[in-house]
Amino acid sequence: MLKDFRAFVLRGNVLDMAVGIIIGAAFGKIVSSLVSDVLMPPIGLIVGKVNFSHLFVNLSETTYPTLEAAKAAGAPTLNYGMFINSVVDFLIVAAVIFFLVKQFARLQRQEAGPPPAPTNKTCPHCISAVPIKATRCPQCTSELKAA
């Protein structure tokens, strides 16, 4: 059983996946910092000097001046400002991944080279595949134009 587990872990796909997960987690931290420390402060300034991470709805009957005070008191809160930050995080990560995948696909197409020339054509009478150099269809025996 230990040999099977070792073989499973040392397969290329599992190691590639592990590296991807580790890099993805580090990338997620970078994007979270970008959103909360770089993007959201100017957006908050534009919309009226608002710090989105401090926006909350107090669900208890006691009033709290800040989210930190409500958390320290153990009051139930809806932290919609943190949710806004998380949505912006997600949108940025999704956009970056989209562009990375798109570029990767483009590079793979370039490496593959031009598509191979077709080797068959379609008979206009019986719609069967015919070799490109054929002058007569082997299925319906109709004459074909030369390629």
pLDDT tens for 119-141 read 889 998 899 999 988 888 988 98
Q: What b/e string do you get for 47-83 counting C-beta neighbours within 10 Å, with b at 16 or more? A: eeebebbebbebeeeeebeebeebeeeebebebebbe
Question: Can you tell me whether residue 12 is helix, strand or coil?
Answer: helix
What is the C-alpha to C-alpha distance for residues 116 and 55, in angstroms, rounded to an integer?
59
For residue 51, is pLDDT > 80? no
- E strands, the chain, in order: 57-58, 77-78, 120-122, 129-131
Per-residue model confidence (pLDDT) at position 95: 85
**Does pLDDT of 147 surpass 70?**
no
Confidence at residue 115, expressed as pLDDT on a 0 to 100 scale: 78
Rounded-to-integer distance, Cα 147 and Cα 130, Å: 11
Is the entire prediction scored with pTM above 0.75? no
What share of the chain has pLDDT > 90, as a percent?
Answer: 5
Residue 79 and residue 86: Cα distance in Å, rounded? 11
Q: Is the pLDDT of residue 36 over 70?
A: yes
Residue 143 predicted with pLDDT over 70: yes
Mean pLDDT of the chain: 84
